[in-house]
Structure 1
Amino acid sequence: MYHIGLDIGSTTLKMAVKDDAGHLVYQSYKRHRSFIRDIAVESMGEVIDIIGTDQQVTIAVTGSAGMGFAEQVNLPFIQEVVATQLAVEDAYDDIDVVIELGGEDAKILFLTGGTEVRMNGSCAGGTGAFIDQMAVLLDTDLAQLDEWALKAKHIYPIASRCGVFAKTDVQPLLNQGADKADVAMSIFHAVVNQTIGGLAQGREIKGKVMFLGGPLTFLKGLQQAFKEVLARDEDDYLFPDNAQYFVAYGASLYSKSEESMLAGDLLEAIEKQQEGHQFESHVAPLFESLAEYEAFIQRHSETAVPRADLTTYTGKAYLGIDAGSTTVKLVVIGEDEELLFESYEASNGKPVEFVRQALLKIYESNPTINLVSGAVTGYGEELVKTALQIDYGLVETMAHLTAAQAFQPNVDFIIDIGGQDMKCFRIKDGFIDTIFLNEACSSGCGSFISTFASALGYNVADFAKLGLFAKHPVELGSRCTVFMNSSVKQAQKEGASVEDISAGLSMSVVKNALYKVIRVNSAEDLGQHIVVQGGTFYNDAILRAFEREIGGQVIRPEIAGLMGAYGCALFAKSQPEKDQSTILKKEDLEDFEQKTTTRICQLCGNHCQLTINQFSGGRELIAGNRCERPLYKDGQKRDHLPNEMNFKRQLISQARARGKRTMDNCRGTIGLPLGLNIYEMYPFWMAFWKALRFRVILSPFGTKDTYLAGQATIPSDTVCYPAKLMHGQVLNLIDQGVDAIFYPCLTYNFDENISDNHYNCPVVAYYPQVLEANMKALKDVKFLYPFYGVHNRKKFTKAISQDIQATFGIPSKETKQAVDAAYKAMDDYHHKILDFGTQAIEKARAVRAPIIVLAGRPYHIDPEINHGIDQLIETFNAVVVTEDGLPMDPDHIETDILNQWTYHARLYNAAKLVRDTDDMYLVQLVSFGCGLDAITTDEVRDILEEKEDIYTQIKIDEINNLGAVRIRLRSLFATIAQQQNKQ
């Protein structure tokens, strides 16, 4: 008798066959690319070659994609977690935790201390699919990625929650010249952090840990990353041989209790497998006929660009470069804006080398070419500009606007879809009025299509063509890439053709762009003169789907993918002519050298991981810095215009130093975790405890290490990043040996008389309870988290007096005096903030500098949360004021929503003041995961747009790269400059 375990995962099919004695007879591990039946038949045929058709066998099916298969073939099914447990307990008796990573599935199985399983939902952030995506991004295969990782010397902080988030961090590192070995190991560390933070979700990984699944079997670098992050004894880790087959082994064990059949009959049953459902489509085809398609192509061919021969051209020429996230585009135009040269290639993380080679081709084609000037835009702008001495750098939005206006002078809406980035601009009176960027999701971008094309075995161009005449396009809606995987596979199972899926995905790209990024209510919201750009719009299926979705026609320039570069060339041509361009000549390009090193900056508390690029001629570019100190040889901070966020951080540092001082008759040490509402209320609580003769320890500003230290105790992966940091802040206080940690629950904030009510958001109000329930370390320290209402001074005084008497034996009289000191300290703090804001505004007006109201929450001043955005704004010679540094309007603004949150009310008050003040501009900081901000962002935008004011929103989270932020801010300041010039 032979016992077959068939493990059908999201991307692979594993089959294991054992005899009655438990000896392994056969095993195979194959990628099925959704052709599950064919691979199952192939594997079963190989089994029969070994045991014959007349041998009795039992079988059980398992795996994330196994249930449907088992039902269709009428085979027994076992849930994969149970199968894993059976296999592990059959082979070992000392395993406490099992971590298994598959293609799109990840799970942690706790076997001791209460059996429990934690699995990923629809996010493949820490799985094999994630690693596959990263390998493609690094232009390598898994074997090379693993080899690189084992040579790493530095670990970069990379967002671990989602593959797209990680791309947002990885791509700029590559463009800045980071060592691929360091990036590879950083990717593996991101997988580990996702496993701990996203799967364990508060339950401690302890005891002996077994690692299963393909990625953990084949990738030694990933194994090493788990060891480094978990930091356990070597004996605590077990990476068994054939770990990728353990689930199949468990299914084989389970099958022993099932009825047997002949091996030949089993093969025949699998061969006859029929899908249980037939695909139905309710979506009209993109094109009903070839004639309709030809008319479509004819209409869009009218946007052709004049061309001339580079080799014989003798006039002035202008260079334009777009160094994007995944590709580099380069054009040369002549005096009549004719196209002389064009290039569009994948950068593979080496944009400088690509541009160097392209320039050499240009010089070789026309040795006497007169490049009068050039400009560069995109993520690699600074790198390419510095390395090759390009004359100008241009923000992407302005480059694309310049190009679009060349084709449609009255353009009022531009949408540019690239490989991972989407940019949409609403234009009013020739100026950019509103900017929409995809924050961290590339589901509406070119990589979305290329991912599926690759998975189905096609190149992008061929895959796109398949969908043009599909008769029954799949309705996939607007979902993220990972969510879409399951929808595509289900459509395949139900009989949808590759053509149907291609068309459906093209429609999905458009829906994601319109309804997730731009969030339009109707086509009229876009405008009457729309220009579409970006390489993704070369896909006729996507262009057609876009026009169909908006119910109108758009302009797609013939050079849609080159528009950023073309706009740069036009910009360079429009600038006053210089005596000579600084662009490197042929001989300089031939001798060009680039050297890249990394180091940790020690000039301030940020400890940034710097990438230093050194070029021929002594040129140098430093990337990865949050402040400007590394840019100066003396490392000193330069004087800047007022920055209220920085002022607040200085106040905190001063208060922290005062709180640590010892005093006579000290009653003990109280710890305050710096985060959420403590960021604003620390003066209140520090004054209170100091008046009671306690030494007060205020935890440090947040860092990535703060987050990682506490991530194993975070019970929810969807809570906002500021809340996640609180776990590490509490651990920091425990490590400092405080006698007690004080962190009260506050349903209400102070009443500032500018809103209908004055609640704290639920996370801010009650997060102490989450900490108490999930952090075992708090059992070893006195953790005080009472419920108070500081808005009602009388009731608060009575309640806290009783608590202090009961806990510390301190008389009520002393506590009442401490309460008086706390309220006075809070008043003094608010006056300092308001005074600084007033003086900052006066200073700005004295030097005619823009006033940026950087509006958000008190905790958004944390450098780990805002990643230096306020310091980035400083570099634009602007004054930074926070929303609470503005005067409160006694006639609080009427809103279209229930205005009941204190922090939100300040946002609306700030928006009203900015709207009514000519030299103020509002930038709103929003945390990912903040459900309440789904309301505030729309309301703040509506308030500002009543008078057509510019609204800029920036979403911040654990993502360290500020590429999208820089685009928004540079676009804002470019628009401000245009408006001032117009006046």
Structure 2
Amino acid sequence: MPIRTWAKWFGRRPSGVPASRRSLRVGIPKVLNLWSTHQFWWGFFTALGIDPAHLVFSSDTSEEQGRQFGKGRGTVDCCYPVKCVTGHYGELLAGARRPIDVLFSPMIYSLPSFLRGHVADNLACPRVMAAPENVKAGFLREGDGFAARGVRHVAPLVALAEPRIVPRQLHAALADVVEGLTLEETRRAVEAGYRALEAFNAALRARSREILATCARADRPCLLVLARPYHLDPGIGHEIEVDLQAYGYPVLWGQYLPLDEDLLDWMFGAEVRAGVIRSPLDISDVWPSSYSANTNEILWGAKFAARMPWVACVVRLSSYECGMDQPTYTPVQQIVERSGTLFFAFQELDATKPAGSVKIRVETIAHYLERAAGAIIARKKAAMGPGCPLLAAQAA
């Protein structure tokens, strides 16, 4: 049986796709909530027949990118991650990676969070949502920077937490850009996008469970990073988790924690049965104003860390002038520290990585983990009681 190579797999095209669609080059700024939804957009556009080689994501954020491609284009004074979007726009328009025909920058109104149905809403930060239009203005002040390069700017408002309305939103925005695009075809492509995103998330959650199981069997500690998706960008989060991993500690990311029923029942079941919370994914006991998707997931991640014995340390990342994060600093720290888990925060991160101070902080975290992790794990295991599913295979 012949083995399908990646080139052949991605080379398949839906029958009847217009040639102009196959040659369409779409640039996507790799910013903000694209860091948690990129697989949706990849699945969506490839399902429409766009050549994967013609999907051009901007590079990681860097000071050089901002200086070279975003200088003089700023239009809004807000958090650092939003300011960085200007450099990504400029890089794509300049064709620094590859030439593009369309700059696609969705205004993501809501997010497909795993907490949907357990919280009040799953909205994106309004500053983040509006960033594409704000940044676009900077390229129109001295003439149309898009038209001058023959690039269409497409920034649809998309409620990814509401899959039923997404096809209409995307079809309205792309009907004049993607030749022959129908609403039904858009609907099928949206379904493909959600499948791709769900498969990607499931794979990472499974890997997180494997890491936790390995730590449980060896009684060794791991770290949990609580941050917003864009802190995965090396230019935003400064790869602080990578520096920590160099000390030999496995690192988990809050958005990709395992959600298996057996594990959540062991961690939260007693509270559900006692009526303290409605479900293992309920955060109303610690955060009743649960409207922001990323904020909700950070709060739930703190609850997870407080109950998981082998998460011996939580590292919180937050960017300069993040108004959404500021009200959560104290609740998150209290949830984590009341369980005896170590907590360290890197707040007000901006363009400059203070290498010296980060190095000292990382060394401090490693020192406390080496000294206290064993006692933390033992204390949390005693509090949680027996029957952990992570140890089931070992017991058998």
TM-score when normalising by structure 2 = 0.76
Indicate which of 28, 32, 36 corresponds to 1:680. 36
Q: Is 1:969 matched up with 2:362?
A: yes
Name 2:300's counterpart in structure 1. 909
1:778: which partner in 2?
Answer: 146
Deviation digits for residues 55-93 of structure 1 (CA, Å, limit 9, x no counterpart): xxxxxxxxxxxxxxxxxxxxxxxxxxxxxxxxxxxxxxx
Give, in whole Å, the separation in 2 of the partners of 1:827 and 1:866. Answer: 25
The answer as to whether partners of 2:221 and 2:373 remain within 8 angstroms in 1 is no
Distance 1:696 1:658 in 2: 17
What is the Cα deviation at residue 667 of structure 1? 4.3
Q: Distance in 2 between matches of 1:972 and 1:669?
A: 45
Matching residue within 89, 98, 120 for 1:756: 120
**In the alignment, what sits opposite 1:798?**
168
- Structure 2 SS opposite 1:700: coil
Alignment of 1:379-458 (within 5 A): none
* Identical aligned residues as a percent: 21
Encode CA deviations 1:523-557: one digit per residue, 9 max, x unaligned. Answer: xxxxxxxxxxxxxxxxxxxxxxxxxxxxxxxxxxx
**Counterpart residue number, 1:243:** none
Cα drift, residue 758 of structure 1: 0.7
Q: Aligned-pair distance for 1:659? A: 12
The answer on whether the counterparts of 1:749 and 1:790 sit within 8 Å (CA) in structure 2 is: yes
Tell me the SS of whatever aligns to 1:931: coil
Instruction: Confirm whether residue 715 of structure 1 aligns to residue 75 of structure 2.
Output: yes
For 2:268, the equivalent position in structure 1 comes to none
Q: Aligned partner of 1:739: which letter?
A: D
Distance 1:785 1:831, change over 3 A: same
Q: What are the equivalent positions in structure 2 for 1:22-37 lying under 5 Å apart?
A: none
1:666-690 CA deviation, whole Å, 9 max, x = no partner? 1411111101011111111121111
Alignment of 1:67-82 (within 5 A): none
The one of 953, 960, 969 aligned to 2:345: 953
Measure how far apart 1:661 and its partner are. 7.4
Deviations 1:611-670 (A, max 9, x none): xxxxxxxxxxxxxxxxxxxxxxxxxxxxxxxxxxxxxxxxxxxx9x99997978314111
Q: Which residue of 1 aligns with 2:47?
A: 691
Of 66, 83, 97, 1:724 maps to 83
Greater strand proportion: 1
CA contact (8 A) 1:844 1:878 kept: no
Supply the distance in 1 between the matched residues of 2:157 and 2:295 (Cα, whole angstroms): 22
User: In structure 2, what is the equivalent of residue 102 of structure 1?
Assistant: none
Alignment CA distance shift 1:758-1:848 (3 Å)? same
In structure 2, distance between residues paired with 1:871 and 1:799? 38
Query: Separation in 1 of the partners of 2:186 and 2:249?
Result: 44
Change (3 A) 1:816 1:897: closer
1:785 CA drift (Å): 0.6
1:864 aligns with 2:235: yes
2:196 corresponds to which of 804, 814, 825: 825
- Aligned partner of 2:392 in structure 1 is none
Q: Which structure ranks higher in relative contact order (CA pairs < 8 Å, sequence separation ≥ 6)?
A: 2
| Inter-partner Cα distance in structure 2 for 1:823 and 1:896 | 28
SS in 2 for 1:712: coil
Counterpart Cα distance in 2 of 1:981 and 1:891: 28
After superposition, the Cα gap between the structure-2 partners of 1:661 and 1:868, relative to the gap in structure 1 and judged at 3 Å, is farther
Q: Residues of 2 paired with 1:901 and 1:981: CA distance?
A: 35
- In our comparison, the structure showing a higher alpha carbon Rg is 1
Task: State the secondary structure of the residue aligned to 2:248.
Answer: coil
SS at match of 1:741: strand
Quote the Cα distance in structure 2 between the aligned partners of 1:892 and 1:766: 29
2:25 maps to amino acid? T
Q: How far is the alpha carbon of 1:906 from its aligned partner?
A: 1.1
In 2, are the aligned partners of 1:711 and 1:724 still within 8 Å (CA)?
no
SS of residue in 2 equivalent to 1:926: strand
Distance of 2:62 and 2:87 partners within structure 1? 9
- The reply to whether residue 887 of structure 1 matches residue 258 of structure 2 is yes
CA–CA separation in structure 1 for the residues paired with 2:190 and 2:182 = 13
Residue type matched to 2:82 in 1?
Answer: A
Instruction: Tell me the distance in 2 between the aligned counterparts of 1:953 and 1:935.
Output: 14
Give TM-score scaled by structure 1 length: 0.32
2:244–2:366 contact (8 Å) kept in structure 1? no
Q: Helix, strand or coil for the counterpart of 2:315?
A: strand
User: Which residue does 1:705 correspond to in 2?
Assistant: 64
Determine the C-alpha separation between the residues in 1 that align with 2:85 and 2:8.
22
Label 1:823 to 1:782 Cα distance change in 2 as closer, same or farther (>3 A): same
Residues of 1 paired with 2:57 and 2:295: CA distance?
26
Change (3 A) 1:828 1:981: closer
Q: Confirm whether residue 979 of structure 1 aligns to residue 392 of structure 2.
A: no
Aligned 8 A contact 1:713 1:775 in 2: yes
Q: C-alpha distance in 2, partners of 1:762/1:682?
A: 19
8 Å contact 2:29–2:88 — kept in the other structure? yes
Aligned partner of 1:939 in structure 2 is 331
Shift of 1:804: 2.9
1:769 aligns with 2:133: yes
The answer to whether the 8 A contact 1:895-1:939 is kept is yes
Q: Is the 8 A contact 1:867 1:960 kept in 2?
A: yes
Mapping of 1:190-269 within 5 angstroms? none
Residue 922 of structure 1 aligns with which residue? Answer: 314
Pick from 248, 253, 256 the counterpart of residue 877 of structure 1.
248
Q: Structure 1 residues 872, 915: closer, same or farther in 2, change over 3 A?
A: same
CA change 1:708–1:849 in 2 (3 A) is: farther
Report deviation, 1:811.
2.1
Deviations 1:338-379 (A, max 9, x none): xxxxxxxxxxxxxxxxxxxxxxxxxxxxxxxxxxxxxxxxxx
Q: Is the 8 A contact 1:759 1:901 kept in 2?
A: yes
Paired AA for residue 798 in structure 1: R
Aligned counterparts of 1:679 and 1:689: Cα–Cα separation in 2: 16
Alpha-carbon distance, 1:965 to partner? 2.5
Q: 1:978 to 1:672 in 2, by over 3 A?
A: same
When residues 700 and 719 of structure 1 are mapped into structure 2, their CA distance, relative to the original with a 3 A threshold, is same
SS at match of 1:715: coil
Q: Would you say the 8 A contact 2:160–2:166 is kept in 1? A: yes
Displacement, 1:756? 2.1
What code does the residue aligned with 2:302 have?
A: A
Corresponding residue SS for 2:31: coil
Give the alignment of 1:297-336 within 5 angstroms.
Answer: none
Specify whether residues 807 and 703 from structure 1 end up closer, same or farther in structure 2 by C-alpha distance, changes over 3 A only: same
Given that 2:109 and 2:160 are in contact with CA atoms closer than 8 Å, whether structure 1 keeps it comes out as no
Q: Structure 1 residues 866 and 660, CA, compared in 2 at 3 Å: closer, same or farther?
A: farther
In the alignment, the residues of structure 2 paired with residue 940 and residue 659 of structure 1 have an alpha-carbon distance, to the nearest angstrom, of: 44
8 Å Cα contact 2:167/2:183 also seen in 1: no
Partner residue of 2:271? none
**C-alpha distance in 1, partners of 2:230/2:11?**
25
Judged with a 3 Å threshold, the aligned counterparts in structure 2 of structure 1 residues 799 and 959 are, in CA distance, closer, same or farther, namely: closer
CA contact (8 A) 1:747 1:765 kept: yes
- Could you say if the C-alpha distance between residues 720 and 661 of structure 1 is closer, same or farther in structure 2, counting changes exceeding 3 Å? farther
RMSD: 2.5
Report the Cα offset of residue 930 of structure 1: 0.5
Distance 1:707 1:661, change over 3 A: farther
d(CA) in 2 for partners of 1:900, 1:744: 20
Aligned residue number for residue 842 of structure 1: 213
Distance (whole Å) between structure 2 residues aligned to residue 841 and residue 849 of structure 1: 9
Are the structure 2 counterparts of residues 685 and 669 from structure 1 closer, same or farther at C-alpha, using a change threshold of 3 Å? same
- State the 1:751 CA deviation: 4.3
Q: Deviations over 1:93-145 (max 9, x none)?
A: xxxxxxxxxxxxxxxxxxxxxxxxxxxxxxxxxxxxxxxxxxxxxxxxxxxxx
